[in-house]
Amino acid sequence: MHLPTLLILNIALSVVVGLTLAYTANRRFKELYLWAGAIGIQALGYALGMLHGQIDDIWSIVLGNCAFAISLALMAEGIYHFQKNRPLRWLIWPPVLFTLVVFSIFINDMRARLLYGGLLLAVQIALVIWLLARRHRQTAGRGQYVMILGFLTALAGLALRVSLAINNTGPSTFLDPNHYFNLIFLGNMLSLLLVTVGAIMMVQERIQHALMASENRYRQLIESAQEGIFILIDERCIFANARATALLGIPEKQLLDSMLADLVDHADQPLMMMYRQARALGATHGQTYDVRLHTAHAGVRWFSISSVGLQWQGEDATLVFLSDIHERKLMEEQVRQLAYQDELTRLPNRRQFIDRLKQVLDLHRHVGGHLALMFIDLNKFKALNDEYGHHAGDQVLIEVAQRLREVVRTSDLVARLGGDEFVLLLQGLNEEASAAREQASQIANTLYKTLAEPYERIFSNETHLSITCTLSASIGIHLFKRTHKSAEILLKAADAAMYRAKKTPDNGVQFFDANDAV
């Protein structure tokens, strides 16, 4: 092959490879910049050598060969940097100075340049190979071996070059036709490709090794966590740590690809559904909520659940944290029964109802569907108390509470505000206002008829005889959705509708409208 053509190919390949390395480099891998610079300077050395006879020999011979020495020194610097060692510059850079001196002395002696220049480059290449070989056990992957193979190929070319000089069979000038030089330049191209591929592989393998180490550290943290941890994609479990399987008593294989929502107790399904809708809108980041889950070994238990969004293998996923709070909930329930429960009817009292209403309002602002508040007042209850005594009135209130429990849905919340006033929160009504109004109206009419049925076996304070009495109720309804009004204002609106119902004896169920005074 034509030697100048080989030189042009070497220059072009060096430029392309150098630019490729520079392009793929980043601040974390400074060695790629060093290696790219080394290959670029090698291209400069080839270019200066090709201009021999057209420019001064100081440039084409002395500086051209110094460029090759600088290129190998930068290669060594890059290897030191990759290995995170301080470079021994007293070992790396003296060959550059020796090259400058030797080629300045033998500028007109081709044989001496081939011999001494080849030996100096061989020493530098041997140093680079030694740097790679001495840390091969600490360097992950096979890229280092590809790079070593590339330098060994270059070393073989230099051995041929020195052999030509010793045997005095080399060309008289650098560009004279010579089959051995053709072979050397082809070997240089192969060496360049191997070194470049090895360098890229070394960096990629280090990145992969770091990612695997990081993943293992996070996995160890997750596995040793005291919380149950799940990763969900489209609500399906794709990962569960050991603590999660222990908390639920369900094997990992059974949890994978299952729906965590399927474990939620029926009573908490509406809350779970609202939370899932809010999470889909990105409105639950960092929020925590308490639900009952069915476990395989301990029945229904209370758990605290929180979640954050993340990317998992290129897909949108949810990281879910699960904590067992069953014992705490039992203790809280005992306290709540004292502070948040009506002692007579065992219904939630006003304080608990307001707290629960605020929680529902906070979550409901991000999802669709209507809510409805029903304010219920018993008509002529004071007359019943006056005639038969407070004991009889208490029995009626207990029976009213029981009837309310039987009529309302599991997702609804019923409470006693005090005296003969009860309140009901309807959740999960239709998105359409007319359909939601119809749903609320049906429930209210059912309640109205149920509460109007006779109350039997009520015992009077004075006579201790069983009596039967009949009461009616006035029901006010406030229908709303995604509101920023306070719980107290919403309750006053339902109360205002109830007072209008009291003034309309033939229709004991009324919806709030703008004409009602709040």
CATH number at residue 499: 3.30.70.270
Give the domain range for residue 372: 340-511
Last residue of a domain, one of 266, 293, 325: 325
| DSSP letters for 230-291 | EEEETTEEEEE-HHHHHHHT--HHHHTT-BGGGGB-GGGHHHHHHHHHHHHTT--TT-EEEE
Give the mean pLDDT of 300-307.
91
pLDDT band, residue 280 (cuts 50/70/90): low
Question: Total domain count for the chain?
Answer: 3
pLDDT for res 490: 92
Q: CB–CB of 65/42 below 8 Å?
A: no
Max mean pLDDT among 51-55, 67-71, 179-183, 481-485 falls in 67-71
- The b/e string for 452-480 (b: 16+ C-beta within 10 A; e otherwise) is eeebeebebeeeeeebebebebbbbbbbb
Q: Are residues 306 and 345 in the same domain?
A: no
Give the mean pLDDT of 322-334.
88
DSSP summary character for residue 314: T
pLDDT for res 171: 59
Give the mean pLDDT of 487-497.
92
Question: Would you say residue 220 has pLDDT above 70?
Answer: yes
**Domain membership flag for residue 319:** yes
| Total residue count of the chain as it appears in this document | 518
Bridge partners (DSSP) listed for residue 424: 374, 414
**How far, in Å, CA of 81 to CA of 22, rounded?**
16
pLDDT for res 75: 92
Give the mean pLDDT of 292-321.
88
Average pLDDT, the chain: 86
Q: Are residues 102 and 192 in the same domain?
A: yes
pLDDT band, residue 184 (cuts 50/70/90): confident
What radius of gyration do the chain's Cα atoms show?
43
Q: Rounded to 10 degrees, what is the CA torsion of 353, 356, 357, 361? A: 180
Q: Are residues 394 and 480 in the same domain?
A: yes
More confident residue, 282 or 36: 36
Q: Are residues 72 and 27 in the same domain?
A: yes
pLDDT above 90 covers what percent of the chain? 34
Q: Are residues 167 and 279 in the same domain?
A: no
Question: Would you say residue 441 has pLDDT above 90?
Answer: yes
Q: Are residues 202 and 243 in the same domain?
A: no
Q: Is 490 exposed, middle or buried (0-12, 13-18, 19+ CB in 10 A)?
A: buried
Last residue of a domain, one of 220, 238, 258: 220
Q: Are residues 45 and 186 in the same domain?
A: yes
More confident residue, 70 or 168: 70
Q: Are residues 364 and 463 in the same domain?
A: yes
**Domain membership flag for residue 333:** no
- DSSP element (H, E) containing 332: helix 326-339
pLDDT for res 173: 57
pLDDT band, residue 312 (cuts 50/70/90): confident
358-381 pLDDT per residue, tens? 888 888 777 767 899 999 999 989
Give the mean pLDDT of 64-90.
91
Q: Are residues 319 and 347 in the same domain?
A: no
Give the mean pLDDT of 395-406.
92
Last residue of a domain, one of 187, 204, 220: 220
Q: Are residues 233 and 213 in the same domain?
A: no
